[in-house]
């Protein structure tokens, strides 16, 4: 029996139509009004499909579908695309390729989750959590995600797949910092010696920070946005630069954090402040291995495309579920590419097999999870 002929599976055409509705409701993370409209829409669609209303937690939505959480299905409805993006990147399907802002990251995954859970006869212990601030680093949903995950035996994350449909078995943890330099202003032409040049101190610190990476361990420490000074003829009294840190292990995150906080000024009279810290813990492969093996077994048994898995540098809310020790499988959503880019797209002919995989995995977990 072909995948799309299986009566137990969701109707792919209906799923795509709901995806169209989700994509055409723009939901940039930084726009509260747009997020509220999007949350209203997701709540309505979810209520129609699941037969029950969600708990409304601001811009976040939670459906507990029967008893305490044992299987957590995790999605988000926010995107990086500003309101108005539909004018230049309209929803459409051409030659089997679906396009539209947020279609790949990750509204297809959200539509899949809603339709799969709606198709299940037994949803005991399944919770669907849809958040609205993932693209910002989940500042208001992190505690909600972690608390829900602590009671679960598995977390399934509907982020888009890696290249070719690969699941994401390992994600680096992220840390975000700002190094603030304080100096002293002076006239750059008349008496520069009376100043403490924050730009020069920044240069010393940028080089020191960049040296903290460890390519052998996969740890990257990257100075990014920098700013200094006020006018072209004034010794800068202040400067700052942002630092992006990615690491495969908590130990590496702690090492870099300790080293950053141990930085000391080079110029006499300069001062440093280190703001920020560890944001997302890593998703280590040990926490995805058993679920990936289960998914491979189910995929092979159902005649679905072979599953592969990869390690990726980007973070997701799966980092939080793994960070509290919950087995986590990520990248279960759309197959396509171009996340956050002009060529964002979804391969329509892969929606059916990804939906079948998700349904098989949730069903198996519900049956075997005490």
CB 186 within 8 A of CB 232: no
Which residues share a beta bridge with 98? 93, 346
DSSP one-letter string for 218-256 = TBEEEEEEEEE-SSTTB--SEEEEEEEEEESSHHHHHHH
Point out the catalytic residue in the list 18, 26, 133, 134: 134
How far apart are the C-alpha atoms of 157 and 254, rounded to whole Å?
A: 26
How far apart are the C-alpha atoms of 238 and 185, rounded to whole Å?
A: 8
Candidates 256, 239, 262, 246; CA nearest to 178 is 239
DSSP one-letter string for 46-115 = HHHHHSSPPEEETTEEEEE-SSS-SEEEEEE--BSPPTTHHHHS--EEETTEEE-TTIIIIIHHHHHHHH
- Structure-token pair, residue 257: 């954090």
Point out the catalytic residue in the list 26, 78, 252, 317: 78
DSSP one-letter string for 348-363 = GGGHHHHHHHHHHHHH
Q: Is 134 a catalytic residue?
A: yes
Which residues are marked as active site? Answer: 78, 134
């Amino acid at each position: 029996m072909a995948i799309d002929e299986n009566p137990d599976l969701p109707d792919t055409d209906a799923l795509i139509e709901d995806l169209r509705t989700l994509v055409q409701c723009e939901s940039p993370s930084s726009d509260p009004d747009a997020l509220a409209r999007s949350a209203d829409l997701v709540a309505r669609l979810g209520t129609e499909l699941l037969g029950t209303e969600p708990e409304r937690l601001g811009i976040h939505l939670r459906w507990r579908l029967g008893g305490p959480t044992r299987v957590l299905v995790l999605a988000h409805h926010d995107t990086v695309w500003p309101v108005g993006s539909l004018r230049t990147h309209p929803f459409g399907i051409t030659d089997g390729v679906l396009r539209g802002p947020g279609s790949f990251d990750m509204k297809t995954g959200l539509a899949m989750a809603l339709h799969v859970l709606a198709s299940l006869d037994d949803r005991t212990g399944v919770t669907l959590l849809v958040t609205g601030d993932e693209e910002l680093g989940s500042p208001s949903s992190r505690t909600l995600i972690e608390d829900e995950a602590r009671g679960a035996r598995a977390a399934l994350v509907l982020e888009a797949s890696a290249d070719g449909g690969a699941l994401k078995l390992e994600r680096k943890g992220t840390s975000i910092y700002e190094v603030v330099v304080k100096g002293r202003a002076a006239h750059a032409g008349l008496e520069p010696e009376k100043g403490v040049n924050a730009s020069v101190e920044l240069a010393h610190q940028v080089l020191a920070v960049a040296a903290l990476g460890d390519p052998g361990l996969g740890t990257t420490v990257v100075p990014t946005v920098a700013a200094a000074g006020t006018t072209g003829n004034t010794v800068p009294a202040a400067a700052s630069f942002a630092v992006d840190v990615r690491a495969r292990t908590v130990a590496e995150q702690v090492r870099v954090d300790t080293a950053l906080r141990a930085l000391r000024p080079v110029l006499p009279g300069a001062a440093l402040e280190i703001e920020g810290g560890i944001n997302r813990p890593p998703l280590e492969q040990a926490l995805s291995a058993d679920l990936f093996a289960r998914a491979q077994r189910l995929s092979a048994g159902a005649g679905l495309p072979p599953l592969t898995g990869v390690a990726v540098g980007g973070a997701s809310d799966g980092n939080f579920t793994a960070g509290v020790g919950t087995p986590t499988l990520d990248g279960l959503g759309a197959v396509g590419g171009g996340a956050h880019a002009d060529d964002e797209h979804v391969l329509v002919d892969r929606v059916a097999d990804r939906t079948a995989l998700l349904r098989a995995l949730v069903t198996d977990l519900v049956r075997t999870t005490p």
